[in-house]
Amino acid sequence: MNFIDELYQLYRDKLTGDDDDIDVLTLAVLEQLDRTDVLQLISELEDHELYNLMGLYLANSLKKRFANDLIEPGISKLIH
């Protein structure tokens, strides 16, 4: 059973599964993990899970970067 399945089994009867519940659970879990724990979990991912994780990270990071450019136009252009 993988980590997500274990979390789901633990909390499926305690949470509704709405965005707020998921956010709270996610933050609570992350607060308990150190870098070594996170890297261990990542090493246990199947290839498609790893690519999905990387895809989410890239998409969210780029969205934030472009949003910052809208807030502070021209700053990133000065760096290059």
pLDDT tens, position by position, 17-38? 899 999 999 999 999 999 999 9
Q: Are residues 8 and 34 in the same domain?
A: yes
- 75, amino acid identity: I
Tell whether 40 and 18 lie within a shared domain.
yes
In a shared domain, residues 40 and 1: yes
8 plus 32 within the same structural domain: yes
Domain of residue 68 covers: 46-80
Does 33 share its domain with 60? no
Is the whole model's pTM more than 0.85, yes or no?
A: no
What's the domain count of the chain?
2
pLDDT in tens, 30-68: 999 999 999 999 999 999 999 999 999 999 999 999 998
Indicate whether 61 and 29 sit together in one domain. Answer: no
Nearest residue to 41 via CA among 28, 57, 30: 30
Distance from C-alpha of 71 to C-alpha of 11, rounded to nearest angstrom: 39
